[in-house]
Structure 1
Amino acid sequence: MTKARTAEADPPWEGLHGPELFEVCLRAAREGDRLAMNRLVAELTPLVWNVARGHSSDRHTAEDVVQTVWLALFSRLDQIREPKALAGWLVTTARHEAQRVNGRKPQPMPLTDELAEAVPSTQPAPEAEVLRSERDRGIWRAFGKLPQRCQEILRLTVLAGRAEYRVVAEVLRMPRGSIGPNRGRCLKTMRELLDIEGGSA
């Protein structure tokens, strides 16, 4: 009897991952299960934050966007028609909210070491900050010239990290195994754009 109660106490999402986990947690959250809500927040806040920060002008604005997105979700749990597509709904909502807050003016995502690796090497100089600023501007000019699909792939994978490939694949509706190769091609294109820009300077 005790074992049965223990088994019943195990959350129904135990051992699940990705869309299946989100679907079960969302259904439980609809029934008022706070543990399920907390699990959704823990699993998907990094993704929501990355999208919000990538489209927001500053950290404070991104934090407001994240909070607004979660409030929007929990206020309309019963309106999510496809629970397995929850990650995609959150990404779309975060993007729209960030654009609304910023007057729909696209903002560059924060520079990461991984994107910085796409920059051709330069000789070190004492004026490191000046060089960094110029390098960053070059990166964002090249980033802005990439196809929209590449921008989305780099935004989500560089910020969300390799561990989130399954979520990125769901959001972009791409096979999980194609995320890495496409990401590599996008970075290669970005390097080529940077090389062109450097050659014309």
Structure 2
Amino acid sequence: MPNLSVGGVTDHEMQARSEAAGLAILAAAGDQAAWSKLVDHYARLVWAVTRSFRLTDSDASDVSQMVWLRLLEHIDRVDPVRVGAWLVVTTRRECLRVLAFRKRVLLTYESDAFEVVAGDQPELDAELLADERAVDVRRALESLPDRWQQMLGMLMADPPAPYAEISERLDIPIGSIGPIRGRCLEKLRVLLAS
């Protein structure tokens, strides 16, 4: 008899899915034999997903065990018809978790590798955030009127320009420099907050 297909799913696949769903229902009810058959039914699928992440054999075994533990913990909440899809998604998540952990582990044979204290150097994220913040500040400064930009530049110089020099170069009364500086800084705060 030909193997009929409905929506891309063959009769054989539909039968396998309903058999697996029945096993999942029985396993959720505490049937040990059904649990063993369910594991046997999907073990190759779980293993194939772990291998697609190119994990070592020991990591793949750990992921596999964790996936079956997760299924055992959640079997009463997993849709029996979708247990295969649930296993694939859970296996992928566990593989990603293992890979993320692996990236944090540093294996070295050099005896002086741990002499540099991690806190002595800024983390890459901190440097990236500082660079982004500097770009934001530059953009905010550039949006201020030219006269304000010049005044802030003179006030931030090392050493800062005296108020008398700022007053003369920008034709601003000395008594106005402080209040203008305050308005500039407030405008920058608003721009940076948005």
Give the TM-score taking structure 2 as reference length.
0.44
Give the TM-score taking structure 1 as reference length.
0.42
Q: Which has the larger radius of gyration?
A: 2
